[in-house]
Amino acid sequence: MTDSFDTRLNDLLEEFELFDDWEERYRYIIDMGRALAPLADAEKTEATRVRGCASQVWLVMDDGPEGTLNFRGESDAHIVKGLIAILVRLLNGLPLSEIRDFSIRDTLTKLGLDEALSSQRTNGLISMVERLKASAG
């Protein structure tokens, strides 16, 4: 059984609290992105590209157990790849209903990212979540 969204978010919040400032948190987010397995070049297509992001972003949906969404992603921008890693960590493998109900704005506020991210990055993150919600149908 997978952890609930709330458990995953609380774990991430605890990790963020280990850092004294946003520069350290940004480095941690970038490191999270570096730990993601890269997508194959063949997976980086127009069909998987997320529009609405200033940088290049691709999200690939994978077959998972019925009623859940599994996905992977990549970006050409380090911080955005880290934001994808956060989404993967929080949402990957969750029931479709939880993904449809997910509020990126509430989550950004809880993580303190609402004030730390530029509006352009926030809009890109919203576009990624909209893509995931559309896949969760």
Residue among 38, 71, 76, 69 nearest 55 (CA): 76
Phi, psi for 2 (deg, rounded to 5): -85, 155
Any catalytic annotation for residue 53? yes
Catalytic residue from among 30, 32, 50, 53: 53
The backbone region for 121, taken as left when phi is positive above 0, alpha when psi lies in -120 to 50, beta otherwise, is alpha
What CA–CA distance (Å, rounded) separates 59 from 74?
7
Q: Are 47 and 57 in contact (CB under 8 A)?
A: no
Residues carrying an active site annotation? 53
